[in-house]
Amino acid sequence: MSEGFVVRGLRRVRKFLGDGTGPRELEGKHLGRVRELLKECASGVGGEVSVRQRAALLAETYQHLNDEGRATFLSSIANDFGPDPQCVDQAHVAYQAAIGSDQQWQAESALRNAMRSSRLRILTQFNALPQGVKFLVDLRADLLRYLDKDPALRSLDRELESRLGAWFDVGFLELQRITWNSPAVLLEKLIQYEAVHEIRSWSDLKNRLDSDRRCYAFFHPRMPMEPLIFVEVALTEHLADNVQTLLDEHAPVFDAQRASTAIFYSISNTQLGLRGVSFGNFLLKRVVDDLKRDYPRLDSFATLSPLPTFRRWAEKNPDAWRKAFSDADLERINRRLLPEMTAITSADDLAKLLSVDRWAADQRLAQALQHGLTRLAARYLLTASKGDQPYDPVARFHLGNGARIERLNYLADTSARGSQQSYGLMVNYVYDPDTIEENVEAFSRGGEIAAATALRRSARD
C-alpha cells in the first residue's frame, strides 16, 4: 500500500469529521471505511510510515465519535478480529495427536499462535502513536462502560487489560514527589483526580503540600503529566483520628523533623482505564522507603481511611442493627432525642434517625449513638463479605497489603460525603514492618483479618 493512499484516506476521514463542532455517529460508508482500515492494521500491510498514519487516522476518527459511534468502533474490533475458530480447531486436533511425540512442543506453539487474535496487532499499533498509551487507557475506560450492554466486548477488554498490565508493569513506573513548585498542569490534575477528600481550593492544595505533608505519585514515561495513582501523607506525632483536623488550613505547620508517624490519608487512582492493573501496594512500599530515608525517627505508618460502603451495607442489613444496638443503647438514645423526634423501638427507626444528617450536630444524641454505631462498624469490617473477600473495598486493599485494622474513629469525617458513606466513621490501618508479610500470607491463604484486640472486643460486645 502506498503512503499516498493512506494520506487520501486521512483526507476522506477528515472530510467526514467536518468542522469538528460535535461528536459523530459511525455508520454507512464511514463504518465501512473504518473496517477497511482496521483490516489493514490487523494484516500489517504497508511500510512503517503507512502503519503509523493509518493508526493515527483511526485514533483521530475514534476521538471524534459520540458514545454510540465509539461503541460501534469497539464492537467491530471485538467481533471481526478474534481468532479464526477453524484454525484453532485444526491446531487443537494436531496438538492432541502430537501429545507424547517429538512434535508436541511444535504443535503447542502452533496452537498458541492460532489462538492469538489480530486485535493485539491493532492495539499495538495504537500504542506506537506519540499519545498512544494515553489513548488506549482512555479507550479502555470507554470499553468498561459498554460491557454490560455488549458482553461480546469482554474478549477485547481482557486482551487490552493484559496488554496494559504489561505496559504498566511497576518496573516501568517512576515514583515522583509532587510539591507546590511542580508544574501547574500537574497540580491541576491533583485537584481533578482527588477521589477521597475533595480539594476545595488552591489554598487547600497548598496546605496539603506544605512542609509537614508529602504527596507521591507513580508516572509512566509515556504519560509524564498524568499521575496514575497518588498518595497524600501527613507527618505527625500521633495516630490521626479526624480528617477535618488533619486538613485544617489554619492549623500551625508541624515540625516534620519531630514526626514519629506518617498518616496516609488519601490514595487516589486516576485512570479508569487501568482498572484491574494493580500498583497501589508498590506505591505504598516505595513511599515508606522514601520517608524512612528522609525522616529516620518515623516508626509508625498508618492510614486514616474511609469506609466507603459501610452505610450502603448497613441500610441493606436490618438484622445487623438489631444485634449491634442493645436495649440499653436504645434507652440512652431515646432519652436524648429532641421532643419532635419519634421514639426508637426498632432497627428501622434507627436507620430513619440516621438518614437525617442533623443527628451528628446534637452532641448528646451523637454520644448516645456512638457505642452501637462503633460496634456495627467493627462487625462490618470483621465479618461482612463479598464472596471470599471483605465487603469494604478499602479494607480489601489494605488487608491484602499486610495492614492491621487498628482503630475505629467516631465522627472522624463530618463532611456530607463522610456522612453519606459511613455515618462519619473512619478507620486506621497500621502497616507494621514486622508483621506485614505474615498478615499478607494469612489473609491470602485463609482470609484471616489482622485486627487490634480492642476492635475485636468491640465487635463481640
Location of C-alpha cell 455517529? 25
Query: Parallel, antiparallel, or unpaired for β 229-236 and 213-219?
Result: antiparallel
SS (H, E, C) 70-125: HHHHHHHHHHHCCCCHHHHHHHHHHHHHHCCCCCHHHHHHHHHHHHCCCHHHHHHH
Which residue of the set 50, 117, 305, 458 is catalytic? Answer: 305
- Which residues, 6 or more positions from 211, have their beta carbon under 8 angstroms from its beta carbon? 253, 256
Cβ neighbourhood burial of 341 (10 Å; 0-12, 13-18, 19+)? middle
For residue 210, count other CB atoms closer than 10 A to its CB. Answer: 16
Instruction: State the chain's maximal CA–CA distance in angstroms.
Output: 88
**C-alpha cell, 296:** 529516620
* Dihedral, 290, 294, 296, 299 alpha carbons, nearest 10: -50
Tell me how long the chain is: 461
Known catalytic membership, residue 305: yes
Dihedral sign, Cα of residue 230, residue 232, residue 238, residue 240: negative
Which residue of the set 398, 419, 422, 458 is catalytic? Answer: 398
Task: Report how far residue 311's alpha carbon sits from residue 356's, in angstroms, rounded to the nearest whole number.
Answer: 13
Which positions are catalytic? 305, 398
